[in-house]
Amino acid sequence: MEKVKTSTESINCFQSDIFSGTGPVQIIHGDVRQKLALIPNDIFHCCVTSPPYWGMRDYGCEGQIGAETEINDYIAHLVEVFREVRRVLRSDGTLWLNIGNTYTSGGRAWRQSDAKNMGRAMSYRPDTPTGLKPKDLIGVAWMLAMALQLDGWYLRSDIIWYKPNCQPESVKDRVTVSHEYIFMLSKSENYYFDQASIKERTADGKSLKNKRTVWQINTEPCKEAHFAVFPRALVRPCILAGSPKDGLVLDPFFGSGTVGVVAIETGRRCVGVELKAAYIDIAKQRLSTVTPTLDPDFAAGSQTAKKHEPYITPSLGF
């Protein structure tokens, strides 16, 4: 009879693919569509991630998600990825998904860089999707959210990330885009959610209230990558509400490693998957300087969270 692998053995079976970060963070190099299949079921408390947006940036990797010529292929690829994410989440796990909308290219086949945003250059631009018109707002964020809901996820919250320092736009016939979405989804009807850990202060500062669905958070630059990264202030409430102290967090699109940084700061562990080797180098550099700290406005050690399963720290050999 074939021996069934334990969680530790399943993780260790691809140790050669892992670039060890600092302390509790491990990074897996490769295509998330292959690498997630190597991870055992039901081990992560939550997933916090921001996948590549459709037609917005060329990462220079063959087969990269976000470079599909058809919008429906992009949605299908992400549904496939997040189906695997749902498998590796515990039954009380949650997904915190940052995604933005985009517009049709209007027939433009490429896009040049500029001094304010070196990462915007693209050698390709996808055609206008069937049924849409030039200059249409595609609504890809909601297309993805609804597709995930139909695939079995519970869609629990649509959070607006308002960016006061948003990227300026030269458009003259619409308002400048200054927000993106964070969709909170759950694997099951009942799930772990630590409401107390992310409560907001009232206007008079004398008491606390439940966190609202509009989060005002500035973008953060990343000089090594020449573009804004996932802000730590955006990731922190997701991790605090979605996982207990010492919990295990997944980011299948690890990028420059912000989720890993916040995991260390808040006393969690993290596994990230990243396709682009250069971003892994950036992430390792950032992780090497992080020490565990906690914003005093958050109570990560709160005991008020409703736990639907007993919490047992999984042994993953790191």
Distances (CA, A) of 91 to 41, 144, 191: 10, 22, 7
- The per-residue pLDDT for range 29-64, each reduced to its tens digit, is 999 999 999 999 999 999 999 999 987 676 666 778
Residue type at 64 in one-letter notation = Q
Tokens at residue 178, please?
Answer: 């200054």
List 98's β-bridge partners, or say none. Answer: 182
Beta strands 214-216 and 200-201 are unpaired
Residue 111 DSSP class: B
Q: Which of 227, 219, 250 is nearest to 49 (CA)?
A: 250
pLDDT band at 267 (very low <50, low <70, confident <90, very high): very high
What average pLDDT score do residues 24-30 get?
95
Q: Which of 240, 141, 217 is nearest to 181 (CA)?
A: 141
Give the burial class of 19: count Cβ atoms within 10 A of its Cβ; 0-12 exposed, 13-18 middle, 19 or more buried. Answer: middle
Q: What is the pLDDT of residue 10?
A: 39
pTM for the structure as a whole: 0.83
- The per-residue pLDDT for range 176-234, each reduced to its tens digit, is 999 999 999 999 999 999 999 999 999 999 999 999 999 999 998 877 765 667 899 99
Distances (CA, A) of 54 to 57, 65, 153, 165, 219: 8, 8, 21, 22, 20
Are 176 and 168 a contacting pair, CB within 8 Å? yes
Percent of the chain at pLDDT > 70 equals 75
Are 61 and 275 a contacting pair, CB within 8 Å? yes
Residue 119 DSSP class: G
Sign of CA dihedral 17, 96, 188, 268: positive
What average pLDDT score do residues 75-99 get?
97
Beta strands 154-162 and 89-99 are unpaired
Torsion over CA of 248, 249, 253 and 259, rounded to 10 degrees? -120
Give the burial class of 62: count Cβ atoms within 10 A of its Cβ; 0-12 exposed, 13-18 middle, 19 or more buried. Answer: exposed
Q: What is the pLDDT of residue 107?
A: 56
pLDDT exceeds 80 at position 253: yes
pLDDT band at 115 (very low <50, low <70, confident <90, very high): low
Backbone dihedral angles phi then psi of residue 131, each to the nearest 5 degrees: 95, -10
DSSP 3-state of 303: coil
- All domains of the chain in start order, with CATH: 7-287 (3.40.50.150)
- Determine the Cα–Cα distance for residues 245 and 112; give it in Å rounded to an integer: 44
DSSP 3-state of 247: coil
pLDDT band at 295 (very low <50, low <70, confident <90, very high): low
